[in-house]
Amino acid sequence: MKIIRSPQTISAISKKLKLKKKTIGLVPTMGALHKGHLSLISEAVRENDFVVVSIFVNPAQFGPREDFKRYPRMVNKDIMLCRSRGVDFIFMPKPDHMYPKMFTTYVTVEGLSNVLCAKSRPGHFRGVTTVVTKLFNCIPADIAYFGQKDIQQAIIIKRMAKDLNMPVAIKIMPTIRESDGLALSSRNIYLNVKERKDALVLFKSLKLAKGLIKSGVSETGKIIHAMRRIIRGKNVRIDYVAIVDSDNLIPIQKITKGCIIALAVWIGKTRLIDNVIVR
């Protein structure tokens, strides 16, 4: 496994692989790898001749009051995990490599980037789509892998790739959960024991929603109301609970096949998200 720092080098290596007709799987990450990332990596290793994992804590997707500085960085552990999973290249650029002085070009997916998480994280998705575009331009991957946990991000990237004719398939992999249901996230590390317990309300409320749907409830208003009622706790604050169409992320009145139930909740100072797709 090789660790590459410069965009030019990873570009040159990827081009050579493509000339040899090798397939490339790309797993974009911000590091602090957990079992969720590892499931993406395993799928990429299974499906491609070569796998690149990018590790870059992207400053452009953090707001001024967000956790860019304290975002967990565990490079040595990440390298070890990638090596043990059969990754071929880690692309680990420095901020200056990705955003040199005079950088002024950003990619925005209109509409989808203004709803749900974007309301409390303005500019976040512009940062994500910009860095992912840069990664796609450096690494001509056949398939790029993203987790369902960040469903809005995955849908936006899928739309971007389609709208801009990017020759890459976007694969969305299921959310990986702890045994008690908490969705894995690099930010779970911020939670203390009490907050970790409180954080279970996300999964519990989604489970309740699924139960209601199974029992025949189809009015989304009723389901959202029931979910909000069980999200309680001294240190728990709802950002949003929403049921939306999976194409345009617009709220819907009645449950449809494939719609998304999503929520974001503050547990103390940590903002957690989760979702389910109604099958």
Where along the sequence are the contacts to ligand PAF (CB under 6 A)? 28-30, 58, 61, 128, 131-132, 150, 153
Q: Minimal distance in Å, beta carbon 45 to ligand PAF? A: 18
Q: Is the Cβ–Cβ distance between 265 and 206 less than 8 Å?
A: no
Q: How far is the CB of 136 from ligand PAF (least distance, A)?
A: 11
Taking the complex as a whole, how short is the minimal distance between the CB of residue 230 and ligand PAF, in angstroms?
A: 28
Cβ contacts of residue 259 below 8 Å, gap of 6+?
243, 244, 245, 246, 252, 277, 278
Residue 69 beta carbon to ligand PAF: minimum distance, rounded to whole angstroms: 16
Closer Cβ to ligand PAF, 117 or 241, answer by number: 117
Grouping H, G, I as helix, E, B as strand and the rest as coil, residue 228 is helix
Scored b (16 or more CB within 10 A) or e, 139-173 reads bbbbbbbbbbbbbbbbbbbbbbbeeeebebebbbb
Looking at beta carbons only, is 152 or 220 nearer to ligand PAF? 152
For 209, half-sphere exposure in the C-beta direction (CA atoms, 13 angstrom radius) is 33
Looking at the Cβ atoms of 50 and 71, the one nearer to ligand PAF is 71
Q: Kindly tell me which of 133 and 220 has the beta carbon lying closer to ligand PAF.
A: 133
Tokens of 30: 């911000």
Of the candidates 34, 37, 124, 225, the residue annotated as catalytic is 37
97 catalytic, yes or no? no
Catalytic residues: 37
